[in-house]
C-alpha cells in the first residue's frame, strides 16, 4: 500500500501476546514499541481478551500518571452483553469493587489499586487500560523490577506466519 500523508498515524495491528498468556493489543512510546515512531507519543494502551477466571495482578500499586481501566463484553452489536465478574480493589483501604457490567474505571495518578481478579468469566470479555504516559510506570506499592519491566519484556510479537494463520489466510512462503 502506498504511503499517504497521514497514513503514518495509523498504528496497524499492534497485536501481541503477553507473558500472562493472553492475546492483546499493545502500544506505547517505549523505544521498542510501535508508538515510538511518533515523538512524544502520549499514552500506553493495552487490551486483553480474557477467557477464563484468574488473578491478573495481586499487588496493590499506584501509577505516576492517570489511568483508565475498562472491561467490555464480546459483542459489539450489544454492549449490554457481559457475562463475567471482575474484582478490583481501589484506595489504600482496598475497597473491593465488583464489576459485572461493561465499565470504565478512572484511576487518578497516585491512587493505590489492585488486586485485580477475574472471578467469573462465563463468556470472554475485553479488559485493558490506558496510562496517560508514554511508558508504564509505578509510583507506589509494588515497584519491583518485575512489575516495572519494560513492555518489551512482557509482550512478544507474532511472526508473519502466525498472524496469517490467525487471519485465516494461506501461510506465507519463505
pTM: 0.76
Per-residue pLDDT of 77-89, as tens digits, reads 888 899 999 999 9
16-167, CATH topology level: Jelly Rolls (2.60.120)
**DSSP sequence for 98-157:** EE-SSEEEEE-TT--EEEEEEEEESS-EEEEEEESSSS--EEEE---TTTT--HHHHEEE
**pLDDT category, 29, cuts 50, 70, 90?**
confident
How high is the pLDDT of residue 147? 57
Peptide bond into 118 cis (omega under 30): no
Nearest to 54 by CA among 156, 154, 127: 127
Q: 41: buried, middle or exposed (CB in 10 Å: 19+, 13-18, 0-12)?
A: buried
Per-residue pLDDT of 33-61, as tens digits, reads 777 777 777 888 888 899 999 999 999 99
> How open is the CA angle 87-93-98, to the nearest 5 degrees?
20
| Alpha carbon distance 144, 82 (integer Å) | 34
User: Domain segments of the chain: what residues?
Assistant: 16-167
**pLDDT category, 1, cuts 50, 70, 90?**
very low
Average pLDDT of the chain, as a whole number: 81
Amino acid at each position: 500500500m502506498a504511503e499517504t500523508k497521514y497514513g503514518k498515524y495509523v498504528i496497524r495491528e499492534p497485536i501481541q501476546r503477553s507473558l500472562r498468556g493472553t492475546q492483546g493489543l499493545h502500544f506505547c512510546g517505549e523505544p521498542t514499541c510501535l508508538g515510538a515512531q511518533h515523538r512524544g507519543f502520549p499514552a500506553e494502551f493495552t487490551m486483553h481478551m480474557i477467557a477464563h477466571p484468574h488473578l491478573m495482578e495481586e499487588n496493590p500499586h499506584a501509577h505516576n500518571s492517570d489511568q483508565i481501566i475498562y472491561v467490555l463484553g464480546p459483542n459489539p452489536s450489544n454492549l449490554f452483553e457481559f457475562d463475567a465478574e471482575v474484582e478490583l480493589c481501589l484506595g489504600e483501604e482496598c475497597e473491593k469493587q465488583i464489576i459485572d457490567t461493561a465499565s470504565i474505571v478512572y484511576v487518578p495518578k497516585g491512587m493505590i489499586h489492585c488486586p485485580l481478579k477475574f472471578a467469573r468469566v462465563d463468556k470472554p470479555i475485553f479488559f485493558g487500560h490506558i496510562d496517560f504516559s508514554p511508558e508504564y510506570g509505578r509510583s507506589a506499592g509494588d515497584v519491583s523490577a518485575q512489575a516495572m519491566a519494560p513492555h518489551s519484556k512482557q509482550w512478544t510479537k507474532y511472526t508473519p506466519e502466525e498472524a496469517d494463520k490467525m487471519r485465516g489466510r494461506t501461510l506465507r512462503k519463505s
